[in-house]
Structures are given as C-alpha cells and as structure tokens.
Chain A
Amino acid sequence: MDGTLRTGTGDPIPAGRTVGRSPGRLAWMRLRRDRTALVSAAVLVLFVLVALAAPLIEAAYGIGPHDQFQRRLDGFGMPLGHAGGVSGEHFFGLEPGLGRDIFIRLVYGLRTSFFVACTAAVLSTLIGAALGGLAGYLGGWLDAVVSWLTDLTLAMPFLIVALALTPTLALRFYGQRDEVPPSFGVGVLIAIFAVFGWTSTARLVRGQVIALREREFVAAARASGAGLGHLLVRQLLPNTWAPILVSFSFAVPQFVTGEAALSFIGVGLTEPTPSFGRMIYQSLDYLQTDPAFVLFPGGTLVALVFAFNLFGDALRDALDPRSAR
C-alpha cells in the first residue's frame, strides 16, 4: 500500500521509528506545533465568543444597537471628540449622522455575518462534496448531469438573480405592509450562498474522486463487497478532506465579504438591522472626514477574513499527510 495514502482501515507507515498514531492525532500534533494556526485559531475563538455573547455584551456595555447619541455629534453630524468619538462610553466611537454606537453594532454585525457565512459555508460544502463525490465515483449519466448543473450555476448571474428574487420573495411572504424580519434577510443570504457557492467544492471533490476510484484500496474494498456508502464515506472521504477543508476555509471569508456586498445593494439585511457590510460600504464615503469610522469595521473584517484564511491554510497543512511538518 502506498505510504502516503490513508485509508479508514490502516495507518500510514511512517519512516523510521514507529509509534502508533491515528491520522487525526497526527494532524492535531502538526496543528499544535504551528504558531500561525494557534494565533489565528485564538482570534477566531475570540470572534466566535463575541458573536455568541452579543446580548451579554450589550447588557454589560449598557448600549443597544439601535440607541442613538446625536447629542454627541456636531452640527454636521460628525462625532465630537477624538477618533470619531472614541471614549470610555463608546469604545469605537459613533456613526456619523445617526449617532449609533459602532462597537455594539459591530458585535451584532459580527454575529449575523458569522452565522450567515458559517451556515452557508457548511451547506455549500456539504452539497458540493456530496454531488462531487457521487458524480466522480459513479460517473456516467450522473456525472454528466452534475457537471451540467455546475456549469449552469456558474453561468447564472448571481447578483441579478439575488436582486430580482429578494423583493419578490419578501412580497410573497410578507405582503406589502407586514414587517420583514431580519431572519428573512439572513435566510435569503444563506440560501443564495448555498445555491451559488457549491460549484467549486463539487469540481474539486469530483476530480479527486475520479483520480482515487481506480486505486487498489478502493478496488479491494469493492471486491470485499463494500457498499456505496462505505466506499464514499470510509474509503474516499478521508482522502478528500484536504480539498474540502480548503474550500470551506475559503468559503467562509468569501461569504462574509459577500454578505457585506449584498447588504449594501439592498439584498439581505436592511436598516436598522446591524450589518457588517452596510457599515463598511457606508463608511467608505467618510474616509477623508472620519477615518476612524472606516478603520474599526474595516479592521475587524480584515482581521476576521485574515484569521480564517490563515487557519484554513494551517489546517490543510496539518491534514495533508505529505506536508513536511
């Protein structure tokens, strides 16, 4: 058996002294030795905690995401004081105009962004891996159909579909006068990302599975009478973890920025729901007059996306049995 391949039934054969370690344990050890991974993981955990604890933070901070502090703005609607109104009371200052607290809106924006991006990434990766794996392994007409579906999805103008569907759906479900709850926007965003985001994962996994399906261990398993489920999940999946995780780790930051862009053009989260995206796009106009307003949401988004990319990278390295570390 090729030493670089892992199967569900046997460990790889390491060179030199042999200590029995499961592949998961090996990956974990590699990950722990990687400082970048640790730092980015810590940052991610922090973000997740902040997002989960948003209502607690609100209670401790004493300011809600819709509270306005226009008395602390000058006549032009610009925040008074240093760096866009940063003070002990308002950690990140105030929005120009409406005078809402940037910190608490960021916390809530983070929560929505995280939820949307992670759910959508999990969904799109699941769809992509399942379709890609099936198409790659079974081939034939199924492969043709899935490949055609992938091409169709890629060719679909995603923004136009999103723009056209959202108002129609809102009208269908909420009529002309009912409140459209934020969960509708969140649902629309997740659906859009899941429906349009699975293609790259599917292609990656399909290619990988096509390369693997003729290998000896697969043939052996098949000869021993293993069913389709066993072959896909126990034999092929462990060998395709790396591309799946890579596409997942890229999907999350891509969806975070995607949420930002879509909310700005009115699809997804509308005022007054706190949204990362709208905040960032709105702040860009104030680059000259209130740089702090650009810096805080922008910096947070950079940190989030950067940490995700670094961690995804490190995870891939750790899971790849061929990697040096």
Chain B
Amino acid sequence: MRSRLATALCTATTLVAVLGACSANTGGSSTVDTGRQQTGVIATDPKDSWGPAPEVPGARAGGTFTIIRETPLSHLDPQRTYSFAGLMAAPLFARSLTTWKDDGQGNLVLVGDLAETPGSNVEDDCTVWEFKIKDGVRFEDGRPVTAKEIAYGIARSFDPDLTGGPTYLQEWLADTPQYDTAWDFAANRTALPPGLTTPDDRTLRFEFARPRCDLPFAASLPSTAPLPADRDTGINLGHAPFSSGPYKVTRFQAGVEIVLERNEHWDPATDPVRHQYPDRFVWSFGPSTDTAANRVIADNGADQAALSWDFVPASLVSRVAGDAALRSRTILSPTPTANHLVINNQRVTDLRVRQALNYAIDREGLVKVLGGPHVAAPNTTLMPPATIGHRAYDAYPAGPNGDPDRARELLGGQTPELVLGAADSSVEQQLATQLKGNLERAGFKITMRAIPDDAKLDEIKKRDNPWDLYLSSWAADWPSGAAILPVLYDGRGIKVAGNTNESYFDDPAISAEFDRILALPPAAQAPQWAGLDERIMREHAPVVPLYVDVAYLVHGSKVGGVFVSSVFGYPCLIDAHVKP
C-alpha cells in the first residue's frame, strides 16, 4: 500500500514536471508609453466648466457596474477622503469646487465643477480667490447647492474628529499647520473659519495671509464637497454621505459592499465631466488581488461587468500580458506615483557617495524584480513624468543596468558602510536584496535591516531614524511641481516625527527657490519646477529616483469607459458604462 502510494506520488510529480516543460519561454517584448508628456492648463473659457459632458462613444445607459477590491473603503466622508480608492470613488456622489477634465492620456484641463470657473484671482497676487457657484446644482433631496453649504463642508474639515483628509485649505486659511487650534469648529458650528466668507449665496471667497497660487488645484479634492449643516452626522457621514453627484449611496455594508444608485436630482447640464450610464455601481470588497484578477479574467455572470480595482499582481502579469484574447480587456497606463531610494542626508553627508549611489543602480533589473514594464517604469527624475511641465533628464547616466565602475571611481577606494532599512514584506525584501546586490557590486557595504511593515512609514518619517537608505514613494495631490518638490525637499519644516521630507534634505538656496516659484502664477510655475528638479539632482542628489508605478488593470468583457486617471493613476469611473 505504502509503496503504491509512493509510486503514484512519483508519477504525479513527473507528470507536472513534464507539463511544465511543454512550452519554452522565449521572451517577448511589450512597451508602455511612460514617456508621454503631461499637459495641464486651467480653463479660461467659462464654457469649459459647463455640461453636459460629451457622450462616450458606444456608451449606453443601464446595467450594474461592479468594482472588486481586496481592501474595503472604510468610509465615504468627502472631507476625510485621501486614499486613492476614496478619491476615485468620491466624484460619483460628491462634487467639488473644481475638477479635472481628463482624457486619460495625460491631457488635463482644470475646470469649475460646482463653481462656474476654476476660480478668479481677485487681486492677481493669489491672496484673494473668488468662486461663483453654478445655478442648478442640487443635492440628492432636490435642494440647491449654494456657497453656504460648500463653506460649511470646508469648515467641518477643521474638526479634529474628522481626520484623514487633505489639510491644504485648513492650513492656508489658518496660516498654520496647527489649524485645529487656530479655529475650533466644534465651538463655532454656525460660523466660518478665518478668511472664508460667503458674500452672497452664489459667491465663495477665500482670503489668505500669503499667496496660495495652487488654490484652484487644491479645490479639486473632495474636501470642497458641499454639505448642508442639518445633514452633518459627524463621523457617521462616512456611511451615508449626502450626495451632490450623479449617484447616491443606497447601501453601505461596512467591509463588504457599497451600492450607489442614480441620483435623479443631478443635472448633467451643470456637470462638465460626469456621466450617469450604469443604473448602479457596486463596490465589492474582500477577494484577494489574485482572486479578483482570476475572476474577472474568467468573465462569468456579473463579473463580465466587473473591474478588478487592484493592479494585476506581479506574478500574474506575464500570463495576462501574454494572452492576446485579454488585450481588449486590459488597461495599461503610467501613474504619477514615483518611487525613490531615499538617502538620509543627515547621515550620508558626502555628495560623492550620494552620486555614486545614483550611478550604481540597475533599474532594468529592478523592474524585473517588480514584475516587468507592466508594473514599473524606470525613472531618473525627482518628479514623475506625469507632472505638468516635466522634463526628462538623467543627471547620473549609468545606462539601463547601472555603472558600477563610475560609482567606484567616485568613491575613490573607500567602502561606505550603509544600512538599508526595508519593510519585512515579501516584495520590499526582494527589492532590498536587489538593491544590496547592485550597491555591493559598486563598492558599498550594505547591511539590510528589516522594519515591521506596518510601522515602516512612521519610522522613516522620524527625523532621527537610524537608517541611511530606505524605499519610499510619493504621489502628488495634483500634477504640479508645487505639490512635490517643496513638500519633499524643503528643509525648513523638518519636525521630530511625521516628516514628508524623508531625506532630511535642507539647503537654504533651494528653499529660497521654492518660495520664489510658489509665488508665480500657476501657468508660469511648470517650467521652473522642471528646472529646479534637475538642479536639485545635479547639485545635491538627495535621493536615487528608481521607478514610477504602472497601472495594469483587467476588467470583464462588458466593461466600457474606464480609464486611468492622469492625476492619481487609478481607474476613473465617471465615464464607466456596461455594454449590452
């Protein structure tokens, strides 16, 4: 009996081995257009801000559109929304002051959403901004949206109980990062924060102590969504937001499912970007990324009209990309999430060492570890190519596989001993192993230290963290250098913990440049940011730019109209429809 079992086992093993050997992998090529130029303008023609949005070719109304995602959306409160999934879900039920007209190809126009225009710069010095609110915009119960409700929405984001959302408007209005102590929402529920006024029902006015030229961009985040004060349920709003968009939330089952159905009071004539094609949207949470991808590929029943929200997992990419039948059901697009090997500039003070680090990296090999060009695209600039005005350059040209000899030359015979802190997740451990190999080839001595995955972000944001190198990424809230370079490289704001400047780079000349460019009108800023990007890299090399994430999505055969947002790099649902 036992020997028969052993024989059966051997046979099975051999069989699998033979099956696996049937086809040879000869390698294939595929390209992603990661070098595409991002263009962005602020609309000057008021007509751009009015609807209805042009019909999507071939789109028809009706059907149920399903989105499958592993991690649940914990809430839908627009003022607390900051996660990518939350930001992409919000436009269905929340309208903001401004919004992006996005063709999914990197061409962006900022238009008014609730506002008639993307803001008017009253004094021409970016300190006073006015927004005229459109006539005919309504909530889900039919009452009109006025400047009062928008102002109330902004005011409630000062509430320290409602955390997690963007803090630009609060910090700018209060002119301090400690905005919740500067103005107490709970004690002033009927008043408005300093600098925010509503001269009449259709006018919203911002007055800032300092020029804030990025206000029209910041106003595109869902934190400017309107809310009538009598509908504010505080923390519970996250489970039942009050809709101003084409859909309203009809079911919120925490951790399992969210159902949105049409909002009949939404008027397409007032909306420059949104559509109302499917009868309902269903967010379905739980299946792992592997399961979700496999379900959508199998294309059965309701999954035919389903989108797997998470990117195709690296281990499945070669299968999905190799299947010609799936080509029409996949979306491939670069994203603005830039990943760097961050150098702790407080510890690695020698510029030549930082430059040598830049020369040593084999970006082609790194992309292979990540899963290929459908997962990541090599990058050599501080700002990702999806930034408006981005200019490609390579300050330390080392070819696709790195230049260890040039790095050695810069090191001049010394062997810097550096500690690389990496999260103990499987992917990051592999990446760190790859980087360690690259750097040791170039004459460094690298010690890898594991950081618990869930604590890593907090740890590297501490000023006195013990590591020399760590991996980090940044995705801007709008595709302007203003939301990237000063945030990551201004040394004047370095705190004890919670820093966005994770390289602890601090150079007075560069900081002065930030101030100069930030005071320019937004249109004039773009080329200046690109120039400063290159200057920082050439003069200081505070990080090693590694790669940008690439979005690779798979959906069912009846899904139409989904594109990857040029702003956030995640699927955009405003054009989504179900094919008959």
A-side residues, CB < 8 A to B, are 35-36, 39, 66, 68, 70, 73-86, 96-99, 167, 176-180, 264, 266, 270-272, 278, 281-282, 285-286, 288-292, 295, 299, 302, 306, 310
Indicate if the CB atoms of B448 and A270 lie closer than 8 Å: yes
- The smallest beta-carbon distance between A118 and chain B, in angstroms, is 23
Secondary structure at chain A's binding surface: helix, strand, loop or mixed? loop
Cβ-defined partner of A292 (8 Å) among B20, B313, B424, B447: B20
- The smallest beta-carbon distance between A64 and chain B, in angstroms, is 12
Residues in B with CB closer than 8 Å to A285 are: 290, 313-315
Indicate if the CB atoms of A66 and B16 lie closer than 8 Å: no
Closest to A163 in B: B452
- The smallest beta-carbon distance between A301 and chain B, in angstroms, is 12
Closest to A81 in B: B24
Indicate if the CB atoms of A73 and B368 lie closer than 8 Å: yes
B 143-187 binary contact with A (CB < 8 Å = 1; else 0): 000000000000000000000000000000000000000000000
Cβ-defined partner of A66 (8 Å) among B3, B317, B437: B437
Whether A97 touches B25, Cβ cut-off 8 Å, given contacts A76-B374, A78-B318, is no
Residues B284-321 near A (CB distance < 8 A)? 290, 313-319, 321
Closest to B21 in A: A83
Residues in B with CB closer than 8 Å to A73 are: 368
Indicate if the CB atoms of B20 and A36 lie closer than 8 Å: no
Indicate if the CB atoms of A74 and B449 lie closer than 8 Å: no
Indicate if the CB atoms of A36 and B3 lie closer than 8 Å: yes
Indicate if the CB atoms of A76 and B369 lie closer than 8 Å: no
- The smallest beta-carbon distance between A111 and chain B, in angstroms, is 19
Closest to B2 in A: A36
Task: Report the Cα distance A285→B314, complex, angstroms.
Answer: 9
Among B374, B433, B452, B466, chain A packs the most CB atoms within 10 A around the CB of B433
- The smallest beta-carbon distance between B104 and chain A, in angstroms, is 24
A74-B27, A76-B372, A98-B430 are known; give 13 further A-B pairs, CB within 8 A. A66-B437, A68-B365, A68-B437, A75-B372, A78-B318, A99-B365, A99-B368, A178-B447, A266-B452, A270-B424, A289-B319, A291-B19, A306-B9
Closest to B451 in A: A167
Whether A82 touches B27, Cβ cut-off 8 Å, given contacts A77-B370, A177-B466, A272-B436, is no
Indicate if the CB atoms of B449 and A176 lie closer than 8 Å: yes
Cβ-defined partner of A272 (8 Å) among B21, B26, B370, B433: B433
Residues in B with CB closer than 8 Å to A77 are: 314, 367-372
Indicate if the CB atoms of B21 and A289 lie closer than 8 Å: no
Residues in A with CB closer than 8 Å to B127 are: none
A–B complex contacts, Cβ < 8 Å, 21 sampled: A35-B3, A36-B3, A68-B437, A70-B364, A73-B368, A74-B28, A76-B372, A77-B369, A79-B25, A80-B25, A82-B23, A83-B21, A97-B371, A176-B466, A177-B419, A270-B448, A271-B430, A271-B432, A281-B426, A286-B315, A299-B13
- The smallest beta-carbon distance between A324 and chain B, in angstroms, is 15
Residues in A with CB closer than 8 Å to B313 are: 285
Residues in B with CB closer than 8 Å to A86 are: 21
Indicate if the CB atoms of A83 and B20 lie closer than 8 Å: yes
Indicate if the CB atoms of A80 and B27 lie closer than 8 Å: yes
Closest to A272 in B: B433
Indicate if the CB atoms of B21 and A82 lie closer than 8 Å: yes
Indicate if the CB atoms of B318 and A180 lie closer than 8 Å: no
Task: Report the Cα distance A299→B11, complex, angstroms.
Answer: 12
Closest to B13 in A: A299
- The smallest beta-carbon distance between B332 and chain A, in angstroms, is 13
- The smallest beta-carbon distance between A238 and chain B, in angstroms, is 28
A-B pair number, CB within 8 angstroms = 133
Interface residue B509 (Cβ < 8 Å from any Cβ of A): no
Residues in B with CB closer than 8 Å to A167 are: 450, 452
Interface residue B434 (Cβ < 8 Å from any Cβ of A): yes
Residues in A with CB closer than 8 Å to B328 are: none
Interface residue B107 (Cβ < 8 Å from any Cβ of A): no
Indicate if the CB atoms of A76 and B318 lie closer than 8 Å: yes
Task: Report the Cα distance A83→B45, complex, angstroms.
Answer: 60
Indicate if the CB atoms of A81 and B25 lie closer than 8 Å: yes
Task: Report the Cα distance A285→B362, complex, angstroms.
Answer: 25
Cβ-defined partner of B434 (8 Å) among A98, A264, A281: A98
Interface residue B569 (Cβ < 8 Å from any Cβ of A): no
Indicate if the CB atoms of B16 and A74 lie closer than 8 Å: no
Indicate if the CB atoms of A180 and B432 lie closer than 8 Å: no
Whether A271 touches B321, Cβ cut-off 8 Å, given contacts A35-B3, A84-B20, is no
Task: Report the Cα distance A284→B316, complex, angstroms.
Answer: 11
Indicate if the CB atoms of B436 and A289 lie closer than 8 Å: no
Closest to B317 in A: A76
The 6 closest A-B pairs by CB, nearest first: A76-B372, A176-B466, A74-B27, A77-B368, A285-B315, A266-B424
Interface residue B30 (Cβ < 8 Å from any Cβ of A): yes
Indicate if the CB atoms of B368 and A70 lie closer than 8 Å: yes
Indicate if the CB atoms of A75 and B17 lie closer than 8 Å: no
Interface residue B190 (Cβ < 8 Å from any Cβ of A): no
Task: Report the Cα distance A73→B316, complex, angstroms.
Answer: 15
- The smallest beta-carbon distance between A16 and chain B, in angstroms, is 29
Task: Report the Cα distance A123→B419, complex, angstroms.
Answer: 35
Indicate if the CB atoms of B17 and A295 lie closer than 8 Å: yes
Residues in A with CB closer than 8 Å to B432 are: 271
Task: Report the Cα distance A310→B2, complex, angstroms.
Answer: 9
Residues in A with CB closer than 8 Å to B419 are: 176-177
- The smallest beta-carbon distance between B1 and chain A, in angstroms, is 10
Task: Report the Cα distance A10→B430, complex, angstroms.
Answer: 61
Whether A76 touches B449, Cβ cut-off 8 Å, given contacts A66-B437, A98-B434, A266-B424, is no
Indicate if the CB atoms of B24 and A82 lie closer than 8 Å: yes
Task: Report the Cα distance A11→B372, complex, angstroms.
Answer: 70
B 424-449 binary contact with A (CB < 8 Å = 1; else 0): 10100110111011000000000111
Task: Report the Cα distance A82→B316, complex, angstroms.
Answer: 18
Among A86, A177, A179, A302, chain B packs the most CB atoms within 10 A around the CB of A177
- The smallest beta-carbon distance between B12 and chain A, in angstroms, is 10
Task: Report the Cα distance A98→B432, complex, angstroms.
Answer: 11
Residues in A with CB closer than 8 Å to B437 are: 66, 68
Closest to A167 in B: B452
Task: Report the Cα distance A155→B25, complex, angstroms.
Answer: 50
Task: Report the Cα distance A288→B448, complex, angstroms.
Answer: 31
Task: Report the Cα distance A271→B425, complex, angstroms.
Answer: 11
Indicate if the CB atoms of A76 and B321 lie closer than 8 Å: yes
Closest to A174 in B: B449
Task: Report the Cα distance A80→B509, complex, angstroms.
Answer: 50
Residues in B with CB closer than 8 Å to A78 are: 25, 318
Task: Report the Cα distance A11→B24, complex, angstroms.
Answer: 64
B 458-488 binary contact with A (CB < 8 Å = 1; else 0): 0000000011000000000000000000000
Task: Report the Cα distance A299→B437, complex, angstroms.
Answer: 29
Task: Report the Cα distance A278→B9, complex, angstroms.
Answer: 24
Task: Report the Cα distance A98→B452, complex, angstroms.
Answer: 22
Residues in B with CB closer than 8 Å to A292 are: 17, 20-21
Closest to A180 in B: B449
Task: Report the Cα distance A36→B4, complex, angstroms.
Answer: 11
Task: Report the Cα distance A302→B321, complex, angstroms.
Answer: 32
- The smallest beta-carbon distance between A136 and chain B, in angstroms, is 33
Task: Report the Cα distance A176→B19, complex, angstroms.
Answer: 48
Residues in B with CB closer than 8 Å to A180 are: 449
Closest to B318 in A: A76
Indicate if the CB atoms of A271 and B317 lie closer than 8 Å: no
Whether A288 touches B316, Cβ cut-off 8 Å, given contacts A75-B29, A82-B21, is yes
Residues in B with CB closer than 8 Å to A272 are: 433, 436, 448
- The smallest beta-carbon distance between B215 and chain A, in angstroms, is 42
Residues in A with CB closer than 8 Å to B334 are: none
Indicate if the CB atoms of B429 and A270 lie closer than 8 Å: yes
Indicate if the CB atoms of B315 and A96 lie closer than 8 Å: yes
Residues B515-540 near A (CB distance < 8 A)? none
Residues in B with CB closer than 8 Å to A82 are: 21, 23-25
Indicate if the CB atoms of A98 and B369 lie closer than 8 Å: yes
Interface residue B373 (Cβ < 8 Å from any Cβ of A): yes
Task: Report the Cα distance A25→B436, complex, angstroms.
Answer: 55
Indicate if the CB atoms of B27 and A75 lie closer than 8 Å: yes
Closest to A282 in B: B426
Among B20, B369, B370, B434, chain A packs the most CB atoms within 10 A around the CB of B20
